[in-house]
C-alpha cells in the first residue's frame, strides 16, 4: 500500500526508456519527440480492464505497480495534480470510444471514470470517415489544435470495438527568457563533419547545472514560470557523443546532483512534429500477449480471446523558442475483435548545444515529454 504522501518515483524509473531507448531510436532517426507519460497512462487504463497474465505483462514491462489497485492509486493521486495555473497551461485527458451497442463492463466503466477521468462515448466505427473525424476532433480540442489526424480512418472497420486515447498539452514561459535580439545563426554539428547554420538563442543566468563524468555529458535544467515544471537538456561533451549517452539511458533519467550555477547558454530554436508507431516498440520491450489471440481484455468487455490490441500510435508536437515551449501529444490504443549551489564571482559555466542532444520536460517527478535533437536545418 502506498502512503498518503509519496513520490511518483515509480512513474519515472522506466517510462523515460521510451524517450531514447534502443527500441525507439532504431525506429526513429533524427529528431523525434515522444510522451512517455501519455503512453503509460493509456496502458495503465488498458491494464485495468485486462486479466492476468496479460495485465501482469503490461505492468511488468512498462514498470507499473504490481497490481491494478496500486496502479489505480497512483493515477488517482497524480492525474488531478497535472493541471495548469496562472503561469502555465497543462492539460491531460482520457477518452474511450466504444462500438455502438458493445457491452463494456460496469467495473471497467467505473475505474475509467473515477480513476482515469475518462469519458466513454459510443460510435459507429463502420462509418470510418465520420468516426475518425469525431475522434480526431476531440484530440484537436484537448491539445489546443496541435495534434491532428491521430486516427487514420483506414484503420477502422467492423472489427474495431474500442479505442482508448490519452491527450496531453503543455505551454509555458521560461523563468529566464532568451532575448530575441541575441538569437543569430550559428554552427550546429549534425555530425563532426556535417555543419549547418541554425537560429541559436543565447542567455547567461542562474540555472541548475550538473556535469556527469560517467555519462560524459552536461545537464542543464531550464525552469518554466510556475516553479514546478522544467526542461532538462542533456548535452554530450563530444560532438559525436549522443550514441554513448543514449546507450546509458537509464542513468540519464535518474536523480542528479544539480547545483545552481551561472551558466552561459546557447541553444538552438527547434520545432518537432512526428508520429510514432508504438506496436513494434512495445513488443520489443516485452509487451506481446495483448497483441495476440491469447490476450485477455475481458475486464473491459467480452471474454478471454475476444479482444486484442491491434495498434498503438502517438503523435507529438513541440516548439521551443526564446519565450518558452509549447508541446502536445496524443496516444491511442485500438482494440479489435480477434479475428486473428551558485558563486557570483565565478566565470559562468559554458553550455553550447551546437551538436545532438537529448531533452525532456518534467513535473512532479514525471517525464511528460522527451526526445532528441540531431538534425536541424
pLDDT at 61: 87
CATH of the domain spanning 32-172+272-318, picked from 3.40.50.2000, 3.40.50.2300, 3.30.420.10, 3.30.497.10 = 3.30.497.10
Fold entry, domain 174-269+337-373: Alpha-1-antitrypsin; domain 1 (2.30.39)
For the chain, what is the mean pLDDT? 89
Look at residue 357 and give its three-state secondary structure.
strand
| List of residues 6+ apart from 99 with CB closer than 8 A | 122, 123, 124, 125, 160, 161, 162
| List of residues 6+ apart from 98 with CB closer than 8 A | 104, 120, 121, 122, 123, 161, 162, 301
DSSP E strand stretches across 38-159: 88-99, 118-123
Distance CA 66, CA 252 (A): 24
CA distances (Å), origin 113, targets 83, 93, 117, 311: 18, 11, 5, 23
Would you list the domain boundaries of the chain? 32-172+272-318, 174-269+337-373
Question: What pTM did the predictor assign?
Answer: 0.92
How many CB atoms sit inside 10 A of residue 320's CB? 24
Phi and psi (nearest 5°) for 10?
A: -60, -25
Look at residue 57 and give its three-state secondary structure.
helix
Angle between helices 36-47 and 54-61 (to 10 degrees): 160
Euclidean distance between the first and final Cα of the chain, in Å? 50
C-alpha dihedral, 259 to 263 to 267 to 271, nearest 10°: 40
Answer yes or no: are the C-beta atoms of 119 and 96 closer than 8 Å.
yes
Q: Do domains 32-172+272-318 and 174-269+337-373 have the same CATH topology?
A: no
Query: pLDDT (tens digit, 0 to 9) for every residue of the chain, 377 residues total?
Result: 222 222 333 343 344 345 555 566 565 668 989 998 999 999 999 999 999 899 999 998 888 888 899 899 889 988 998 999 999 999 999 999 999 999 999 999 999 999 999 999 999 999 999 999 999 999 999 999 999 999 999 999 999 999 999 999 999 999 999 999 999 999 999 999 999 999 999 999 999 999 999 999 999 999 999 979 999 999 999 999 999 998 888 788 888 899 999 999 999 999 999 999 899 888 988 999 999 999 999 999 988 888 999 999 999 999 999 999 999 999 999 987 765 444 455 689 999 999 999 999 999 888 899 999 999 88
Answer yes or no: are the C-beta atoms of 78 and 11 closer than 8 Å.
yes
Helix %, strand %, coil % of the chain (to 5): 25, 40, 35
Look at residue 296 and give its three-state secondary structure.
coil
255-275 burial, b if ≥16 CB within 10 A, otherwise e?
ebeeeebbbebbbbebebbbe
Amino acid at each position: 500500500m502506498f502512503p498518503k504522501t509519496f513520490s511518483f518515483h515509480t512513474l519515472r524509473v522506466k517510462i523515460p526508456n521510451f524517450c531514447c531507448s534502443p527500441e525507439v531510436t532504431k525506429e526513429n532517426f533524427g529528431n523525434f519527440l515522444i510522451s512517455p507519460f501519455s503512453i503509460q497512462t493509456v496502458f495503465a487504463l488498458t491494464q485495468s480492464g485486462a486479466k492476468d497474465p496479460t495485465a501482469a505483462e503490461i505492468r511488468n514491462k512498462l514498470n507499473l505497480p504490481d497490481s491494478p489497485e496500486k496502479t489505480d492509486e497512483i493515477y488517482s493521486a497524480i492525474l488531478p495534480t497535472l493541471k495548469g495555473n496562472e503561469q502555465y497551461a497543462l492539460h491531460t485527458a482520457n477518452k474511450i470510444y466504444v462500438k455502438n451497442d458493445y457491452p463494456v463492463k460496469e467495473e471497467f466503466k467505473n475505474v475509467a471514470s473515477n480513476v482515469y477521468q475518462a469519458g466513454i462515448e459510443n460510435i459507429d466505427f463502420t462509418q470510418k470517415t465520420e468516426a475518425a473525424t469525431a475522434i480526431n476532433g476531440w484530440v484537436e480540442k484537448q491539445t489546443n489544435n496541435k495534434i491532428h489526424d491521430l486516427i487514420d480512418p483506414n484503420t477502422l472497420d467492423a472489427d474495431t470495438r474500442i479505442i482508448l486515447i490519452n491527450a496531453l498539452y503543455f505551454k509555458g514561459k521560461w523563468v529566464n527568457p532568451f532575448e530575441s535580439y541575441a538569437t543569430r545563426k550559428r554552427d550546429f554539428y549534425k555530425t563532426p563533419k556535417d555543419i549547418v547554420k541554425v537560429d541559436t538563442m543565447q542567455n547567461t543566468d542562474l540555472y541548475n547545472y550538473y556535469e556527469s563524468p560517467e555519462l560524459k555529458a552536461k545537464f542543464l535544467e531550464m525552469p518554466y514560470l510556475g516553479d514546478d515544471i522544467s526542461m532538462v537538456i542533456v548535452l554530450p561533451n563530444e560532438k559525436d557523443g549522443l550514441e554513448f549517452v543514449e546507450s546509458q539511458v537509464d542513468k540519464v533519467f535518474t536523480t542528479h546532483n544539480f547545483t545552481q550555477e551561472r551558466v552561459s547558454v546557447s541553444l538552438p530554436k527547434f520545432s518537432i512534429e512526428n508520429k510514432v508507431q508504438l506496436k513494434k516498440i512495445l513488443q520489443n520491450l516485452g509487451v506481446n500477449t495483448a497483441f495476440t489471440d491469447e490476450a485477455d481484455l475481458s475486464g473491459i468487455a467480452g471474454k478471454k480471446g475476444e479482444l486484442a490490441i491491434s495498434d498503438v500510435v502517438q503523435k507529438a508536437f513541440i516548439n521551443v523558442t526564446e519565450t518558452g515551449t509549447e508541446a502536445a501529444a496524443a496516444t491511442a490504443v485500438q482494440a479489435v475483435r480477434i479475428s486473428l549551489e551558485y558563486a557570483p564571482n565565478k566565470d559562468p559555466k559554458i553550455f553550447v548545444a551546437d551538436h545532438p542532444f537529448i531533452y525532456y520536460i518534467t513535473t512532479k517527478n514525471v517525464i511528460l515529454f522527451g526526445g532528441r535533437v540531431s538534425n536541424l536545418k
